[in-house]
Amino acid sequence: MDIELKPLNLPGSDDRPFVIAGPCSAETEEQVMTTARQLASHGFRMFRAGVWKPRTKPGGFEGNGETALPWLKRVKEETGMLISTEVATPEHVELALKYDVDILWIGARTSANPFAMQAIADSLKGVDIPVFMKNPVNPDLELWIGAMERINQAGVKRLAAIHRGFSSYEKKIYRNLPMWQIPIELRRRMPDLPVICDPSHIGGRRELIAPLCQQAMDLGFDGLMVESHCAPDAAWSDAKQQVTPDVLNYILSLLVIRDEKVVTEGIHMLRKQIDEIDNGIMELLAKRMSVCREIGRYKKEHNMTVLQTVRYNEILDKRGAQGSLAGMDSEFVKEIFEHIHEESVRQQMEIVNQK
């Protein structure tokens, strides 16, 4: 893969972290200007606001379109902040350029679509504007890199990646699963590409912004894109995940930025991947144990024995064989499963013996 990058070279882009802040959507001129003035008073230098909003279902607020672009231009003229918006089609690109938008970002639903990406790339030929690429909605690093390659091949060298998490049917605490190993691997493969974390869309709830920002800083991310609104609860889109400029400033003031140059240390990045994988193993084990307790309850109700030897041998053989196919010693794998089984039986016994 050949991606030729140039530094972003924007006012503030060397700050660690550099921050892009602003509302999910540009709703009214007043909302845009009030939010921007408050952000500017705290020293924020890059403003975001969605003008075209991709909505999962029809009927929601889909953005004000071109009407909102003069509001962004006014933000730039009055506050001096750089302005950014999401583009999803060549027409969006053309309009954004017409109103002097400084930074374009591409949304997660668009970066997942190579046809859309190629059309946008073609419309950017010969244009020198920074483009920030959100990860595609599905956890596919190659698709994410491919989207950036298309833009790069059009001649755009000032690129950054935005990590906004990945859709999952399994709703846990996050709106979009962070799957940190994916941006970590991106960083390992493209050490010069700035990576920005979007805690608002990962978390989906304002309480998660602070811990997610801290985690991104600990992993060596360069920037943050955070949704901020002058009256978050009244927002027309993504109300639950927005914070006021004051709260955002407070959250960022508490961040601990470790002075650690992890970027060039491949081993460091690989170790972070190991930590992420181990974390995943522990989560899966915990899930397995909770299913075992469920089985315990079932067996108790139906008067079945806890230990069912046939089933036990079947698990050991199946996983042993799978292990050797994956290049591991089958005895080693069987041993792991013996230990897992032992703990599972213990957990079931606890349930069965409950009064």
What is the enclosing helix (H) or strand (E) of 131?
strand 131-134
Q: Which residues ranging from 51 to 90 are in contact with ligand PEP (CB under 6 A)?
A: 54
164 binds, among Mn ion, ligand PEP, none (CB under 5 to 8 A by kind): ligand PEP
- Of 261, 107, 271, 284, the C-alpha closest to 185 is 271
* Dihedral angle sign, alpha carbons of residues 244, 247, 252, 256: negative
Restricting to residues 296-335, which ones interact with ligand PEP according to CB under 6 A?
none
Q: Which amino acid is at 104?
A: L
Q: How far is the CB of 109 from ligand PEP (least distance, A)?
A: 6
Pair 11, 165: CB distance under 8 Å: no
Look up residue 258 and give its DSSP letter: -
- Among ligand PEP, Mn ion, none, residue 102 binds (CB under 5-8 Å by kind): none
Contact 330, 320 (CB under 8 A): yes
Q: How far is the CB of 306 from Mn ion (least distance, A)?
A: 49
HEC string of 123-157 equals: HCCCCCCCEEEECCCCCCHHHHHHHHHHHHHCCCC
Contact code string over 27-56 relative to ligand PEP, x by CB under 6 A = -----------------------x---x--
Q: Which one of 17, 63, 107, 178 is in contact with ligand PEP (CB under 6 A)?
A: 107
Q: For residues 24 and 179, which CB has a smaller minimum distance to Mn ion in the complex? A: 24
The interface mask with ligand PEP, positions 146-165, x = CB under 6 A, is: ------------------x-
Residue the block writes with tokens 């400084």: 102
CB count, 10 Å around CB of 246?
A: 14
Q: Which is nearer to ligand PEP, 75 or 108 (CB)?
A: 108
Footprint on residues 219-238 left by Mn ion (CB under 5 A): 238
What is residue 22's DSSP assignment? Answer: E
CA distances from 290 to 98, 282, 294, 306, 343 (A): 56, 12, 6, 15, 11
Of residues 122-141, those binding ligand PEP (CB under 6 A): 134
* Total number of residues that touch Mn ion (CB under 5 A): 2
Cis peptide before 183 (omega within 30 of 0): no
**8, 20, 21, 24: which one binds Mn ion (CB under 5 A):** 24
201 is a site residue for ligand PEP (CB under 6 A):
yes
Tell me how crowded residue 51 is: count the other CB atoms within 10 A of its CB.
24
Nearer to Mn ion among residue 241 and residue 344 (C-beta): 241
Residue 276 near Mn ion by CB under 5 A: no
* Interacting residue ranges for Mn ion, rule: CB under 5 A: 24, 238
* Interacting residue ranges for ligand PEP, rule: CB under 6 A: 24, 50, 54, 107-108, 134, 164, 201
